[in-house]
């Protein structure tokens, strides 16, 4: 007979497998034009910038739970690709306000279409669960995320 601890450990193992799959998906290309594609990770950054007016590099870092350095590298890469512009913020001479270029908006819409299919399938599959099951999953993921954030903060010191 399996114990509660066994189920918890099996769930954590499955979550780790899902996290590794997600990491691989983040590197998959999304074709925007004939000779232009971005990774899913880059598209997620573009989506965040498109959805938030006057977002800064610090905001991007906080939104994705990454370091400011990692966010800055991503923003620089996307600026080099012609997807976004960085304008010195009116509020700080150390921050930039980010905005999408026409190419950035093409990526935004390509990602929405690409992402929409996956989201629709996930919603359809999860609709088979009760509200209390989904609420439980949400609380569990929050607890796991808190442990992960704590671990990362210890490693960054």
pLDDT value at position 157? 58
How many CB atoms are closer than 10 A to CB 77?
A: 15
DSSP 3-state assignment of 90? coil
Strand (E) or helix (H) holding 95: none
pLDDT value at position 152? 79
CA 64 to each of CA 76, 138, 156: distance values in angstroms, whole numbers, following the listed order: 16, 18, 16
Q: Which domains are delineated in the chain?
A: 4-126 (1.10.10.10)
How many CB atoms are closer than 10 A to CB 40?
A: 17
Segments of the chain scoring below 50 in pLDDT: none
pTM of the model: 0.77
pLDDT value at position 89? 83
Q: Which of 118, 88, 107 is nearest to 48 (CA)?
A: 107
How many CB atoms are closer than 10 A to CB 30?
A: 18
Q: Does residue 64 contact residue 52 with C-beta atoms inside 8 Å?
A: no
Q: Which of 85, 75, 83 is nearest to 32 (CA)?
A: 83
Tokens of 108: 């935004």
How many CB atoms are closer than 10 A to CB 103?
A: 18
pLDDT value at position 1? 61
pLDDT value at position 79? 96
CA distance 34 to 130: 43
Q: Which residues pair with 39 in a beta bridge?
A: 29
pLDDT value at position 145? 86
Owner of token pair 């007979």 = 1
């Amino acid at each position: 007979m399996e114990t509660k601890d066994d189920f918890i450990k099996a769930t954590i193992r499955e979550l780790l497998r899902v996290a590794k799959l997600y990491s691989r998906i983040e590197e998959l290309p999304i074709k925007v034009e004939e000779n232009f594609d971005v990774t899913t990770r880059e598209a997620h950054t573009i989506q965040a910038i498109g959805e938030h007016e006057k977002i800064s590099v610090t905001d991007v870092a906080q939104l994705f739970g990454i370091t400011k350095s990692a966010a800055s590298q991503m923003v620089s890469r996307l600026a080099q690709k012609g997807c976004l512009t960085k304008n010195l913020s009116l509020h700080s001479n150390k921050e930039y306000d980010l905005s999408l270029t026409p190419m950035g908006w093409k990526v935004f819409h390509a990602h929405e279409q690409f992402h929409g299919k996956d989201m629709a399938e996930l919603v359809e599959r999860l609709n088979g669960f009760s509200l209390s099951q989904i609420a439980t999953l949400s609380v569990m993921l929050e607890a796991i995320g808190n442990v992960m954030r704590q671990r990362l903060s210890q490693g960054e010191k």
